[in-house]
A = this chain, B = another copy of it.
C-alpha cells in the first residue's frame, strides 16, 4: 500500500541541527513516508537525531547522505522546494494541499522530491530555481517562520491526505504519450539553451540579467516529456549550426 508515497523523497539541504533531522524522520514515518536524503548535513550521524527520531530510526538508518542537491534530485520528474519568502521573480507557488495532490499524482509513476532548506535561510535562489514549483505554507504574515520540522510535518501530512484521497479516486490527470524528463535532463537542456543563446548573440554572458532564470521558470513548470525534450534540443542544435556557419564565414 501507499506505493505512491514510497516514490516521494524528502530532501533536507544543509541542516544545522541534528535534532531537526530526527524530528523530520519521525514526521515522515508518522505520515507513511520513508525516503530521506540529506544534502551535506552539518552534524550527522548524531545521537540527538536518533533520540528525536523516536521510533523512526529506520528512516534515519536508510537515509542517503549526498554532497549536492543535484545528486539528491537527479532522477526526479517533479521537484518541489519549500519557500517562505516572496522572491523577485515570481515562481509557480502552490499551497500545500494543491502541491501534495500534484506530487502524489506524479508519484504514481515517477520519482518526486520535496526539498527543505536550511533552518534560518531556507533554500538559496539557485536551489529554488532547480524546482518546478515552490510550496508555501500560508502562515500568519506577522510571524511566518515555521520550525523546519513543523513545516515538514505540515507538508508530509498533506501528502498523506492526498494519497488517502487518491486511493478513492479513479480519474488520472493528463498523461503525455512519452515519459517525463528528469531533473538531470532538464539541466542538460538549460546548458544547451544557454550556450545556443550566447552563440546567437542573444545572451550576453557578461550581462545575463534575468534571462536564463525566466527560461528555467518556463520550462520547469510545463512538465516536459522526452519527445518534447528531443524536439527542443534538435531546434537548439539547428540554431547552433546556423550560428556557427554564419560566424565562420564572416
Contacts and interface: CB of A to CB of B under 8 A. Distances in A.
A90 interface: yes
A104 interface: no
Q: How many copies does the complex hold?
A: 2
B177 A90 contact: yes
Contact of A90 (B32, B176, B214, B250): B176
A138 B154 contact: no
B149 A55 contact: no
Nearest to A210: B227
A200 B153 CA distance: 51
Contacts of A245: 246, 250
A97 B97 CA distance: 11
A175 B143 contact: no
A200 B30 contact: no
A30 B143 contact: yes
Nearest to A235: B202
Interface stretch (A62-70, A105-113, A215-223): A215-223
Size class of A's contact patch?
35 or more
A195 interface: no
A27 B152 CA distance: 13
The A contact surface, by secondary structure, is: helix
Interface in A198-250: 200-202, 211, 214-215, 218, 221-222, 224, 227-228, 231, 234-235, 238-239, 241-243, 245-246, 249-250
A149 B138 CA distance: 19
A221 B218 contact: no
A30 B150 CA distance: 10
A161 interface: yes
Given A90-B177, A150-B153, A31 B139 contact: yes
A228 B242 contact: no
A200 B149 contact: no
Contacts of A200: 235, 238-239, 241-242
A54 B54 CA distance: 23
Given A138-B160, A138-B164, A26 B90 contact: no
B89 A144 contact: no
Contact of A160 (B26, B56, B139, B170): B139
The 3 closest A-B pairs by CB, nearest first: A222-B222, A246-B246, A202-B238
